[in-house]
A and B are shown apart, each in its own frame.
Chain A
Amino acid sequence: MAEVRLDGVTKRFGDVAAIDDLSLDIADGELLVLLGPTGAGKTTTLRMVAGLERPDAGRVEIGGQDVSIEPPAVRDVAFVFQQYSLYPHLTVYDNLAFPLRSPARRLPEDQVRKRVQDVAALLHIESKLANKATRLSGGEMQRVAIGRALVRAPSIYLMDEPLSSLDAKLRAELRLELKRIQVELGATILHVTHDQIEAMTMASRIGVIAEGRLVQIGTPREVYERPNNQYVATQLGTPPINLIPVDLLPAPRAPREARMIGARTEQLRIGAANGSTNRAVLRWVEHLGDQNHLHLEIGDRKLTTLADPHSHWKAGDAVSLELVDPLYFDEAGVRIDIRGENAHGD
């Protein structure tokens, strides 16, 4: 395992800068998640670390070595792709052993066997080793694909949305397992995804990327609780944060330069309508089981807040809304730090 560093990296495709002067440090043993929508530049970043793309400017370092122009084979990285590409004619065992038998890094067969068996145990696929790769469920195939990266001990594992092709239940299961394995092995992983739940639950740190630039980097909690700007605030949290003009609801504590307020569901308190100005109409009660999401309309704005599932709110009710320690953003959409904020949260 080793530290990986991107220093002022730029990558252009034609006139478009897919990556624009991006700098990023991935610490040894860290699981760094790059989060961003399609086209943000996350996969391009990953491919530059892998050596599948060459930067137009800047440096890529692995373990202190400048590898910017080195080919993939000498970089000592392992790549897991979105679509598991297994060898269909080989057994699970031979698929897992494949990287260890390549001419460049051929291991003696007894060592291959040990590594394959260790990784199979880690991924709970020991009983499938003799199966043909095609005789597996989707979840098992993706485990094998991840296993094929894990049999090696590269400087860094690069993962390009490896869970996105799985159904929700399996994804939740593998998310947890992958994180456990990473901690157990002390592996360094750069993982890219557009799934914010994946980012929040797995990352040591999240890098929020938009239009080829790194907008913010920090622990999931830092990014969730103290987003740099409105864009980042909308990237984390389900349902998404409510962004409203500062004068929509009473906000006595709003700083003078505040233009917009960001209120997550837990930062909006609902009560019976009392004829005041902060009156909203409840349009839809969305049941989640452990709680309800209340979808509200105030003026032409739509807001979402939370309620206990056993509360009596129903569609059509008029309600009052109160802000509880929301986020404030200035004219440029930058979050305004307010005093005493550090006291709560972390």
Chain B
Amino acid sequence: MAQIRVENLRKQFGGFTAVKDSTFTVDNGIFFVMLGPSGCGKTTTLRMIAGLELPSDGRILLDGDEVTFQRASQRDIAFVFQMFALYPHLNVRRNIAYPLRSQGVSRAETRVRVEETARLLRIEHLLSRSVSGLSGGDRQRVALGRAIVRRPKAFLMDEPLGALDAEFRRLMCGELRQLHDRIGATTVYVTHDQLEAMALADRIAIMNQGVVEQIGTPQEVYDQPASMFVADFIGSPPMSFLRFEGSVRRGETSVRIGEAIVGVPELREEGVQGPLALGARPEHVTLADDGAIRGQVFGAEYLGTTQIVTLDTRHGQVKARMPASVNVRLGENVGLRFHTRGLALFDAASGRALRSALHEVTTHG
């Protein structure tokens, strides 16, 4: 079991900076997800932790020991790749046993550990089967078994579910998380899928263009996004933005958007002036005849118990989640009401969230 610490980590590929000055700690036993679009630097960061890539600058510490320039094989970390490769001519037992046999672990010890691993993954009944006859899911479990059996200090996983179809990915997501709850090993997991990140993580680091924009529990990054990028990347549908020119001051509890006054969580920052954006999650928007901001219904998407209604306003498109029983007509002119407590305010030029009472709400994650 291990704590992983990354300090001022930087990686340069020629003139391109893939990772810019990252610092974070993954505490012992945590399921830590690095989330971001392709090219954001998440996989490069993971590969540096693994020792598959050397940093241009900065340090990596494993349980307080510096491992920055150690070989991958000296780091006692198991890396699970996107495409699992199993030995097709070996049965399940031998595939799982392989890393131990190659380390010279005794036959008896290997036997005990393979069986224990199979029990954890609930594949004991498959041990003597050939891997070539297995279903996709069972192959994946065997590949995981090969990583677990070594009992490494930490697991690093690079989109291990990326190649699976949606339904199966969901299932494996649940299994991975429950496996983590059973063995409690520190895990760093890379994905571009926000739903997967929200579902799996104790903590999420959201990366954009080589920079970690926010680290927090799934609920924190959803409720209190640090930037417009995070607010847009997390959530399905994402946060909507109402863009306006204006100024806000410490202690204020409302903003003026065009003619409308909209209540916001109390501002905790000195004056900010210029292009601003009000951020609203779909569940924080309702329709109200007397709503100060007006919009036209652009579309309604039925989802069973709820629906997502998309509204065109003068300040941008807004999505609202409401019960499917609410009747809306396309093109209809409606008023919007916002739930003050959940609203976020951004400096639209930099994308940075302005500090407000929103950030003082404690969330459970």
Assess whether B234 is interfacial by the CB under 8 Å rule: yes
Assess whether A143 is interfacial by the CB under 8 Å rule: no
B198 and A290 form a contact (CB under 8 A) = no
- For window 205-254 of A, CB contacts with B under 8 Å fall at 220-221, 224, 236-239
A287 and B199 form a contact (CB under 8 A) = yes
Residues of A within 8 A of B44 (CB): none
A200 and B302 form a contact (CB under 8 A) = yes
Assess whether A289 is interfacial by the CB under 8 Å rule: yes
Assess whether B355 is interfacial by the CB under 8 Å rule: no
Residues of A within 8 A of B305 (CB): 264, 266
On whether A236 and B304 interact (CB within 8 A), knowing A183-B330, A289-B198, the answer reads yes
The closest CB in chain A to the CB of B239 belongs to A289
B222 and A220 form a contact (CB under 8 A) = no
The closest CB in chain B to the CB of A283 belongs to B178
- For window 14-61 of A, CB contacts with B under 8 Å fall at none
**B301-325 toward A: CB 8 Å interface, digit per residue (1/0)?**
1111100101000000000010011
Tell me, in angstroms, the Cα distance from A224 to B307 when the chains sit together: 13
B174 and A286 form a contact (CB under 8 A) = yes
- The stretch from A81-89, A119-127, A172-180 touching chain B is A172-180
B303 and A180 form a contact (CB under 8 A) = no
Q: State which of A169, A287, A295 has its C-beta within 8 Å of the C-beta of B222.
A: A287
**B169-203 toward A: CB 8 Å interface, digit per residue (1/0)?**
01001100110010000000000000100110100
Tell me, in angstroms, the Cα distance from A169 to B237 when the chains sit together: 8
A221 and B282 form a contact (CB under 8 A) = no
Count, chain B residues at interface, CB 8 A: 38
Tell me, in angstroms, the Cα distance from A105 to B310 when the chains sit together: 38
Residues of A within 8 A of B298 (CB): 176, 180
Assess whether B363 is interfacial by the CB under 8 Å rule: yes
Q: State which of A197, A200, A289, A295 has its C-beta within 8 Å of the C-beta of B218.
A: A289
Tell me, in angstroms, the Cα distance from A236 to B303 when the chains sit together: 9
Residues of B within 8 A of A332 (CB): none
- For window 90-116 of B, CB contacts with A under 8 Å fall at none
Tell me, in angstroms, the Cα distance from A172 to B301 when the chains sit together: 10
Q: State which of B174, B308, B364 has its C-beta within 8 Å of the C-beta of A295.
A: B174
The closest CB in chain A to the CB of B167 belongs to A240
Tell me, in angstroms, the Cα distance from A238 to B365 when the chains sit together: 22
Tell me, in angstroms, the Cα distance from A183 to B330 when the chains sit together: 9
B330 and A289 form a contact (CB under 8 A) = no
A201 and B283 form a contact (CB under 8 A) = no
Assess whether B153 is interfacial by the CB under 8 Å rule: no
B302 and A220 form a contact (CB under 8 A) = yes
What band does the interface of chain A fall in when counting residues whose beta carbon is under 8 Å from B?
20 to 34
Assess whether A72 is interfacial by the CB under 8 Å rule: no
A179 and B299 form a contact (CB under 8 A) = yes
Q: State which of A175, A180, A286, A290 has its C-beta within 8 Å of the C-beta of B199.
A: A286
Assess whether A168 is interfacial by the CB under 8 Å rule: yes
- For window 216-247 of B, CB contacts with A under 8 Å fall at 218-219, 222-223, 234-238
Residues of A within 8 A of B141 (CB): none
Residues of B within 8 A of A180 (CB): 298-299, 330
B303 and A201 form a contact (CB under 8 A) = yes
Residues of A within 8 A of B364 (CB): 309-312
Interface residues, chain B, with chain A CB atoms under 8 Å away: 170, 173-174, 177-178, 181, 195, 198-199, 201, 218-219, 222-223, 234-238, 281-283, 298-299, 301-305, 308, 310, 321, 324-325, 330, 363-365
9 A-B residue pairs with Cβ-Cβ distance under 8 Å, sorted by A, are A172-B236, A183-B330, A220-B302, A221-B324, A286-B199, A287-B199, A290-B235, A290-B281, A310-B364
The 6 lowest CB-CB distance pairs between A and B, nearest first, are: A201-B301, A289-B222, A287-B218, A287-B198, A176-B299, A286-B199
Interface residues, chain A, with chain B CB atoms under 8 Å away: 168-169, 172, 175-176, 179-180, 183, 197, 200-201, 220-221, 224, 236-239, 264, 266, 283-284, 286-290, 295, 309-312, 315, 345
Known: A200-B304, A283-B174, A311-B364. 5 other contacts (CB 8 A): A283-B178, A287-B222, A289-B234, A290-B235, A290-B321
